[in-house]
Chain A
Amino acid sequence: MSAAAFTGTNVMDIDAAKVRGAGSNVHFDKVSVAYGAHVVLHPLTLDIAPGEILAMIGPSGSGKTTALRAVAGFVRPASGRIRIGATDVTDLPPYERGLGMVVQNYALFPHMRVEDNVAFGLRAQGADRALIAERVRDALGTVGMSAFAKRLPRELSGGQQQRVAIARALAVRPRVLLLDEPLSALDAQIRRNMVEEIAKLHRDLPGLTILYVTHDQTEALTLADKIAIMRDGRVCSHGPTGELYRRPPNRFTAEFLGRANLLPVTVVEAAGGKGFARAALGDTTLASAGRDEKAGDRSLLCIRPQHLSLTDEGGHSNRISGLLREVHWQGELTHLVLDVDGTAVRVSTTRLPIALPEAGTRLPLFFAPADTSLVPEDAGV
């Protein structure tokens, strides 16, 4: 059986009766969570479309794991409802929600062999032996762990254990897969590989809805169709990954999702229907993608370090200059830190002039208006 068999469209032929037959979208309807008087998740309204990967990212204590645990049924909302497909699961126990969950430390059952771990959910739900054998074979095949079926978890590496954990979650054919910081315990190299493997897995299983909680923006940017950025128990921005990255709606999003240079500017001319606004940085006027700013508004011009160039290339009509403060060579990339009118500006480049510039040198920086956006200065949600 191919990996396509794991898609969410033909799932649930084992007992999860209360959610069976419905779609695999997840809907948070004003869901809040509180421990006593301490609110850890403020009323959250959010949709995850069927087959979508939504990454929830944010710093520790931002409420992202609480939101995931509310979907899983391990945290009871103080208010609001959670729906999976057409079913309100708010009052259902975790074992009736028809989910799969993968956690940071894998949580493979150490007393069971790999194949028994993968078969666990099916056995718990009373599936027959033939079905279990078929599903275990398929799930292990999907994550490339068929050869390890007879091993005990302690005989596997961290990356292999995480694959088995994913296979275990897939074997029950969940409509929604919950991934709670699944790669945090892995070292950097394995984590990069696993991100690519999860991306491939989702290409193979396009119907599977995934809620992916992480504090790693790279994982979120690589995997997610949409991102919700959490801060202090609230969603401070939510939208398609590329859109959020290119046009961050607030300062926190700009700085949390990738690195951003934020230059304080004053809007000179609103974008209107022309596409680009004009903004003044000191004596320099710059063109930037705008939103609904008005002339005279104070704003932040957001430009990513890799979009700044030391040389004038086609389309780079914006030009500023700064005093070079630091140079950090990191092999593939070189990072420069410049002082531009009192603001530290970071440049990441793969190509440098033949002679590495020295600190104290004044350098021109070029960038394209399309690579910028204006971020409201006071929208610091």
Chain B
Amino acid sequence: MLVWSRSGRLVLWALFALVFGVLFLAPLAVILLSSLAGQWNGVLPSSLTTAHYGDVLHGSAGDAVKASLVTGFLASALALVSGTWAALSLRLQGHALRRLLGLLFFIPSAVPSVSVGLGLLVAFSNPPLLLNGTVAIVMVAHFVLISAFTFGNVSAGLARLSPDFEQVASSLGARPGYRLWHVTLPLLAPYLVAAFGLSFALSMGELGATVMVYPPGWVTLPVSIFSLTDRGDVFAGAALTMILVVATLALLLGLERVAARASGS
């Protein structure tokens, strides 16, 4: 414990509550209240109603949820496979090459997502790689943006993994594939699950690149929210945002349980 005095701890808790409340809870609370507001002319909304939820659920919200979930799941799965593969491969390389390629993996996350979307749009608008107007280009955009995070998570896990496990497995006669499947990946499971969860959450909230490349019929939740708020339907946008939050939270909680089981805690 860093602070021993009772008054000091109280001050710290108050500071934490203030920062957490203002930066994290207040925006969420405002969105929640907006999603339930019939009108909002004063400090607080009035005429609370669930009608906005009904409206968005009867509209295209279902399709948007499905598009977001499918995009998030597939892009995260793809990013997990490639990120894990890259992390495992780079581990075998020399220090300089490992650092260089590791940095390259992180470049897309340093570029504005709108630019990534624009780049993909230009790159894939002509044959032979004509993806413009397809669902695939949305997947590719999300994959490019989130793969750095899966790579980073898995690399961190590998760095913490004692080489003794794999070496003992090899000495006992386990070939590389058997060792990977039965030792390395199970030991990395908590990191894999965390990487997938983070990628999924990022994908669910991705707007900048998606708005540049999405085809008709594959409108994700953030794009729908943006459209609603852009045309002034703030309360419906807030309702859709809450659906996005709940869907993402539910999946992340599920993944957390999987991670806890995998790590045996």
Give me the interface of A with B, judged by CB distance under 8 Å.
14-16, 72-74, 93-105, 107, 109-111, 120-121, 124-125, 152, 154, 165, 168-169, 172, 178
Known contacts A103-B168, A107-B168, A120-B182: does B173 contact A125 (CB below 8 Å)? yes
List B contacts of A93 (CB < 8 A).
Answer: 170
Which residues from chain B contact A165 at a C-beta distance below 8 Å? Answer: 168
A107 to B175, CA, bound (A): 18
B175 touching A109, Cβ below 8 Å: no
B170 and A100 contacting across the interface, CB-CB below 8 Å:
no
| B172:A100 contact, CB within 8 angstroms | yes
Contact of A105 among B164, B169, B170, B171 (CB under 8 A): B164
User: B114 at the A/B interface (Cβ < 8 Å)?
Assistant: no
Q: Find chain B residues with CB under 8 A from A124 CB.
A: 169, 172-175, 178-179, 182
A168 to B183, CA, bound (A): 15
6 nearest interchain CB pairs? Answer: A121-B172, A124-B174, A107-B164, A101-B171, A94-B170, A125-B173
Bound-complex Cα distance A208 to B49 (A): 79
Q: By the criterion CB–CB under 8 Å, are A74 and B183 in contact?
A: no
Give the nearest-CB partner of A180 in chain B: B164
Distance from A111 Cβ to chain B, minimum over Cβ atoms (Å): 5
| B positions within 8 Å CB-CB of A | 162, 164-165, 167-175, 178-179, 182-183, 186-187, 189, 262, 264
- State the Cβ distance, B174 to closest chain A Cβ, in Å: 4
What's the Cα separation between A154 and B170 when bound, in Å?
A: 22
* Complexed CA–CA distance, A300 and B247 (Å): 80
Closest residue of chain B to A98 (Cβ to Cβ) is B173
Measured CB to CB, the closest approach of chain B to A332, in angstroms, equals 36
Known: A107-B164, A109-B187. A100 touches B171 (CB 8 A): yes
CB-CB under 8 A from A120, the residues of chain B are: 169, 172, 174, 182
User: B177 → chain A, closest Cβ, in Å?
Assistant: 10
Task: Report whether B173 and A16 are in contact in the complex, using a CB–CB cutoff of 8 Å.
Answer: yes
Q: A94-B170, A101-B172, A107-B167 are in contact. List 5 more A-B contacts (CB 8 A).
A: A74-B167, A93-B170, A94-B171, A101-B171, A102-B168
User: Which residues of chain A are near B172, meaning CB under 8 Å?
Assistant: 95, 100-101, 120-121, 124-125, 168-169, 172
- Report 8 cross-chain contacts, Cβ distance below 8 Å, ordered by A residue: A16-B173, A95-B175, A100-B171, A107-B165, A120-B169, A120-B172, A125-B173, A178-B171
Residues in A with CB closer than 8 Å to B167 are 72, 74, 94, 101, 103, 107
- CB-based contact B183/A109 at 8 Å: yes
Question: Is B171 in contact with A97, judged by CB distance below 8 angstroms?
Answer: yes
Complex Cα distance, B165 from A74, in Å, reads 13
Residues of chain B contacted by A125 (CB below 8 angstroms): 172-173
List the A residue with the shortest CB-CB distance to B183: A109
- Nearest B residue to A16 by beta-carbon distance? B173
Determine the chain B residues whose CB is within 8 A of the CB of A168 once the complex forms.
168, 172
A125 and B172 CA atoms in complex are apart in Å by 8
A172 to B172, CA, bound (A): 7
Chain B proximity of A175: nearest CB distance (Å): 12
**Least CB distance, B41 to chain A, in whole angstroms:** 58
Beta-carbon contact of B173 and A111 below 8 Å: no
Q: A99 contacts which chain B residues (CB < 8 A)? A: 171
Given the contacts A109-B165, A111-B186, A124-B182, A152 and B171 also touching, CB distance less than 8 Å: no
Known A-B contacts A109-B183, A152-B264, A154-B264; A95 and B165 likewise in contact (beta carbons under 8 Å): no
Smallest CB gap from A121: residue in B = B172
Measured CA separation A363–B257 after assembly (Å)? 72
Task: Check B264 against A95 for contact (C-beta < 8 Å).
Answer: no
Neighbouring B residues of A104 by C-beta, 8 Å: 164
B197 vs chain A, min Cβ distance (A): 20
Contact B168 A95 (CB under 8 A): no
Q: How far is the CA of A111 from the CA of B182 in the complex (A)?
A: 10
User: How far is it, in angstroms, between the C-alpha of A72 and the C-alpha of B170 when the chains are bound?
Assistant: 9
Q: Is the CB of A121 within 8 A of B174?
A: yes
Contacts of B165 in A (CB 8 A): 107, 109
Q: List A contacts of B174 (CB < 8 A).
A: 95, 120-121, 124
User: Closest approach, in angstroms, between the C-beta of A267 and any C-beta of chain B?
Assistant: 49
CA distance A103 to B170 in the complex (A): 13
Q: Report chain B residues within 8 Å CB of A14.
A: 173
Bound-complex Cα distance A125 to B175 (A): 8
Complex CA distance for A105 and B179, rounded to whole angstroms: 19
Q: How far is the CB of B55 from chain A (nearest CB, A)?
A: 48
Name the CB-closest residue of B to A120: B172
Q: Which residue of B lies closest to A169 (CB)?
A: B172
Which residue of chain A is the closest to B262 with respect to CB atoms?
Answer: A111
B149–chain A nearest beta-carbon distance, Å: 25
Q: In the complex, A94 Cα to B178 Cα: how many Å? A: 14
In the bound assembly, the distance between CA atoms of A164 and B211 in angstroms comes to 57
Contacting pair B173 A110 (CB below 8 A): no
Partner of B173, one of A74, A109, A121: A121
* Chain B neighbourhood of A100, CB < 8 A: 171-172
A165 to chain B, nearest CB (A): 8
Provide the residues of chain A in CB contact with B164, threshold 8 Å: 103-105, 107
> Shortest CB–CB separation between residue A115 and chain B, in angstroms?
15
Give complex CA distance A139, B175 in Å. Answer: 22
CB nearest to B189 among chain A residues: A111
In the assembled complex, the CB of A23 is this many whole angstroms from the nearest CB of chain B, namely: 19
Min CB distance A67 to B, Å, is 15
Q: Chain A CB within 10 Å — which of B169, B172, B174, B262 has the most?
A: B172
| Residues of the B chain whose Cβ atoms lie less than 8 Å from the Cβ of A152 | 264
Q: Min CB distance, A285 to chain B, in Å?
A: 55
- Contacts A107-B165, A110-B264, A111-B187; is A95 near B182 (CB within 8 Å)? no
CA distance A369 to B85 in the complex (A): 67
A172-B186 contact, Cβ under 8 Å, with A101-B167, A109-B165, A111-B264: no
